[in-house]
């Protein structure tokens, strides 16, 4: 513990404020910035609408030659290739999204198309000029490798490279990033330097000529401490960085906030998760709400406990098809790690995912919501639980090919992929599962996460999972940060019908390095494509690096 004079002062300050909270203090393993100059605030103007002609030409490229249909519904415009969503514009918020049609991508040596990015950056219709700054940042690379049954995996190849326009604010002799979901301009470049995907949302900002006094470091530390303790994760958190950013919630303001990154340890074990949080940067508090950390008293309904002793129902009853009326519905099952300090956050993420899905389409049925248990995945249990739904979401702590389900069990309810799951796998051949979202950290390592020449180890456990004919598993290859807002966003993206694989990987990339395992040739499938596929001959792993 780095106990400085300032930490001591903050502790004294807090002792009175938190006398009734039975929770330890977090460790601060970083410098806390000191600012003395008054902080500016900005009012946001009208959202720029990405120019239609340019957008349509990007969508045409993104489809890679496949036929594109356009559909308008209320305030939304959709571009589809078959059943798969390629482009979406929300004419109320003026947000634009384009997702590449994955089967049309070619691998190669990727470079950022600087000329194209500079042209976008200089285009007033896309990035309206104001007192804020915008600069080019090189983002992540989408990489893939496949393995045919019984063969060595193919060498990893890169398919897309992200180029971002990062907005920042000059203040106190430095540039401070704009954070939050509002200022987005990210572009996916293919091997020919063409744009295949984008996320765009941007409002010009006007200085409000309102100056706020920045919190001093003691108060920054005290406020962060207070948030972590109220969330019940004080003693398991280590704050690893604190910086100043200007939060854009795509609402009215760009407001100064201190952003902190913390690692949160699982109870009784070594696993960690990231957490990103924000506190208002000044003594005037927040101008509009900043994202909050879930606290045990503010989360949604708690899951039920699965009945692990029930006699499995005969599979014929379980497998009976959905009723005619519900023929096109997608059943959703959510399974969350219990008895961990982060459990309220897992509930928050699960509630948001469902909210996002249902906000986008009425076809989603909330059919299962349980505290997680290894039984959910076994030969007898999976028929009643994970393999009885089309779309499953597990959340908790994880590590390579492993996740935890119940912090109170002696082994914390460890589930190993593949040793602890049904030998018949999941999918339409044995049940119903088509897509599995793993919210835990690190469960899907990529071939490059193993020593050279051992890339097959990344694939090996997944063959059993896919045995039943499912379509795809998506999650993270590295540590991920808790971020309920993003889970709502990804629910919306998947619910509108993007590729589950890339819609998830791209949307959640800001929360950690995402990855996916998919049956070869099925990486474009949307969540509505749930037909069972039989045993696979080839698996593909996609990852961001
Ligand atoms: C979206 O763009 C249109 C056309 O430029 C504009 O009239 C509208 O006000 C914008 N919407 C928002 C929320 O700023
Ligand atoms: C469009 O954006 C508005 C404002 O953010 C939101 O309320 C609405 O649900 C969005 N519509 C779609 C179809 O995403
Ligand atoms: C942060 O600390 C300051 C100074 O103690 C206090 O006035 C303010 O209310 C705190 N804000 C929050 C959100 O805790
Ligand atoms: C905090 O973590 C986020 C990712 O979760 C990262 O983008 C950001 O740079 C980190 N901030 C600092 C100051 O390290
Ligand atoms: C978790 O494990 C404990 C100990 O085995 C058990 O009593 C409890 O029912 C399990 N599930 C939940 C949701 O706590």
Contact assessment for residue 329 and residue 363, using Cβ atoms and an 8 Å cutoff: yes
Per-residue pLDDT at 16: 46
The token pair at 146 is 């496949």
Choice between 324 and 253, residue whose per-residue pLDDT is larger = 253
What average pLDDT does the structure give for the chain? 92
Q: Is the pLDDT of residue 346 over 90?
A: yes
> What is the rounded average pLDDT of the residues 334-361?
95
Which residue lies with its CA nearest to atom 12 of ligand 4? 241
DSSP tag of 499: B
| Alpha carbon of 168 to ligand 1 centroid (Å) | 23
- pTM for the model stands at 0.92
Ligand 1 pocket residue status of 201, Cβ below 6 Å: no
Contact assessment for residue 146 and residue 154, using Cβ atoms and an 8 Å cutoff: yes
Q: Which atom of ligand 3 lies closest to the CA of 286?
A: 13
Q: Which atom of ligand 5 lies closest to the CA of 338?
A: 13
> What is the rounded average pLDDT of the residues 116-138?
95
CB-based pocket (< 6 A), ligand 2: 75-76, 90, 92-93
Q: Is the pLDDT of residue 484 over 80?
A: yes
Q: Where are the beta strands (DSSP E) in 281-329?
A: none
Q: Is the pLDDT of residue 131 over 60?
A: yes
| Alpha carbon of 283 to ligand 3 centroid (Å) | 7
Per-residue pLDDT at 352: 96
| Alpha carbon of 261 to ligand 4 centroid (Å) | 6
Which residue lies with its CA nearest to atom 9 of ligand 1? 46
- Whether a cis peptide bond, with omega within 30° of 0, leads into 196 is no
- Which residues are within 8 A (CB) of 523 and not within 5 positions of it... i.e. 6 or more apart? 102, 103, 472, 499, 501, 502, 516, 540, 542
CB-based pocket (< 6 A), ligand 3: 215, 219, 223, 226, 279, 283
Q: Where are the beta strands (DSSP E) in 249-382?
A: 253-265, 272-280, 330-336, 364-371
Pocket test for ligand 5, best of 376, 408, 411 (most atoms within 8 A of CB): 408
CB-based pocket (< 6 A), ligand 4: 241, 243, 261, 274, 276, 481
Tell me the C-alpha to C-alpha distance, in Å, between residue 134 and each of 184, 199, 202, 251, 263: 11, 16, 11, 19, 30
Q: Is the pLDDT of residue 144 over 60?
A: yes
> What is the rounded average pLDDT of the residues 340-347?
93
Per-residue pLDDT at 12: 47
Phi, psi dihedral angles at 276 (to 5 degrees)? -115, 130
> What is the rounded average pLDDT of the residues 26-47?
97
> What is the rounded average pLDDT of the residues 300-307?
89
| Alpha carbon of 488 to ligand 3 centroid (Å) | 29
pLDDT band at 319 (very low <50, low <70, confident <90, very high): very low
* Spatial distance between the Cα atoms of 65 and 100, rounded to a whole number of angstroms: 11
| Alpha carbon of 75 to ligand 2 centroid (Å) | 7
Q: Is the pLDDT of residue 1 over 80?
A: no
Give the lowest-confidence range in 53-62, 306-315, 411-420, 453-462.
306-315
* Spatial distance between the Cα atoms of 403 and 273, rounded to a whole number of angstroms: 12
The token pair at 196 is 């295949």
Q: Provide the 3-class DSSP secondary structure of residue 14.
A: helix
Q: Is the pLDDT of residue 316 over 60?
A: no
Per-residue pLDDT at 19: 43
CB-based pocket (< 6 A), ligand 5: 305, 338-339, 371, 406, 408-409
Q: Which atom of ligand 3 lies closest to the CA of 280?
A: 13
Q: Is the pLDDT of residue 21 over 70?
A: no
DSSP tag of 327: T
* Spatial distance between the Cα atoms of 470 and 429, rounded to a whole number of angstroms: 8
Q: Is the pLDDT of residue 296 over 90?
A: no
Tell me: the pLDDT tens digits for 205-229? 999 999 999 999 999 999 999 999 9
Pocket test for ligand 3, best of 281, 283, 289, 293 (most atoms within 8 A of CB): 283
- Which residues are within 8 A (CB) of 202 and not within 5 positions of it... i.e. 6 or more apart? 47, 48, 126, 127, 128, 167, 182, 183, 184, 185
The token pair at 318 is 């379980």
Per-residue pLDDT at 430: 85
CA end-to-end span of the chain: 32
DSSP string covering 379-394: HHHHHHTGGGSSEEEE
Q: Which atom of ligand 5 lies closest to the CA of 371?
A: 13
The token pair at 371 is 């505290």
Does the CA dihedral 122-124-129-133 come out positive or negative? negative
Per-residue pLDDT at 313: 53
């Amino acid at each position: 513990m780095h106990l400085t004079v300032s930490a001591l002062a903050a502790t004294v300050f807090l002792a009175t404020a938190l006398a009734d909270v039975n929770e330890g203090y977090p460790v601060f393993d970083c410098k806390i910035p000191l600012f003395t100059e008054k902080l500016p605030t900005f009012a946001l103007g009208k959202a720029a609408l990405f120019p239609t002609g340019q957008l349509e030409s990007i969508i045409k490229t993104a489809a890679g030659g496949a036929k594109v249909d356009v559909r308008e519904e209320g305030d939304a415009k959709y571009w589809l290739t078959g059943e798969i969503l390629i482009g979406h514009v929300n004419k109320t918020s003026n947000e634009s999204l384009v997702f590449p049609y994955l089967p049309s991508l070619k691998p190669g040596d990727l470079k950022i198309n600087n000329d194209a990015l500079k042209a976008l950056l200089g285009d007033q219709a896309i990035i309206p000029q104001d007192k804020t700054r915008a600069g080019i940042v090189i983002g992540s690379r989408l990489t893939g490798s496949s393995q045919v049954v019984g063969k060595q995996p193919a060498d990893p190849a890169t398919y897309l490279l992200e180029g971002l326009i990062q907005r920042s604010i000059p203040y106190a002799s430095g540039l401070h990033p704009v954070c939050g979901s509002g200022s987005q301009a990210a572009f996916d470049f293919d091997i020919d330097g063409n744009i295949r995907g984008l996320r765009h949302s941007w409002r010009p900002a006007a200085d409000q000529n309102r100056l706020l006094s920045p919190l001093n470091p003691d108060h920054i530390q005290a406020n962060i401490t207070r948030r972590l303790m109220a969330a019940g994760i004080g003693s398991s958190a280590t704050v690893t960085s604190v910086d100043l950013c200007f939060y854009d919630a795509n609402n009215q303001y760009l407001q100064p906030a201190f952003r902190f990154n913390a690692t949160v340890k699982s109870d009784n074990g070594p696993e960690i998760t990231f957490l990103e949080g924000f506190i208002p940067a000044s003594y005037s508090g927040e101008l509009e709400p900043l994202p909050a950390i879930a606290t045990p008293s503010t989360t949604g309904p708690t899951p039920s406990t699965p009945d692990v002793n029930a006699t499995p129902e005969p599979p014929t009853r379980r497998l009976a098809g959905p009723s005619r009326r519900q023929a096109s519905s997608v059943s959703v099952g959510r399974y969350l790690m219990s008895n961990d300090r982060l459990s309220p956050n897992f509930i928050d993420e699960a509630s948001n995912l469902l909210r996002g899905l249902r906000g986008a389409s009425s076809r989603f049925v909330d059919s299962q919501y349980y505290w997680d248990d290894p039984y959910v995945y076994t030969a007898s249990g999976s028929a009643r639980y994970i393999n009885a739904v089309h779309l499953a979401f597990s959340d908790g702590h994880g590590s390579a090919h492993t996740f935890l389900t119940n912090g109170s069990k002696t082994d914390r309810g460890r589930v190993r992929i593949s040793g602890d799951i049904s030998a018949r796998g999941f999918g339409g051949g044995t049940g119903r599962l088509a897509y599995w979202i793993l919210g835990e950290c690190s469960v899907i390592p990529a071939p490059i996460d193993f020593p050279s020449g051992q890339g097959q180890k990344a694939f090996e456990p997944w063959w059993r999972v896919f045995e039943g004919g499912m379509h795809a598993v998506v999650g993270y290859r590295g540590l991920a940060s808790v971020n309920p807002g993003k889970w709502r966003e990804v629910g919306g993206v998947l619910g509108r019908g993007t590729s589950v694989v890339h819609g998830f990987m791209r949307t959640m990339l800001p929360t950690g390095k995402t990855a996916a395992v998919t049956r070869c040739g099925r990486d474009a499938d949307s969540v509505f494509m749930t037909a069972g596929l039989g045993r696979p001959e080839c698996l593909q792993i996609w990852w961001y690096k």
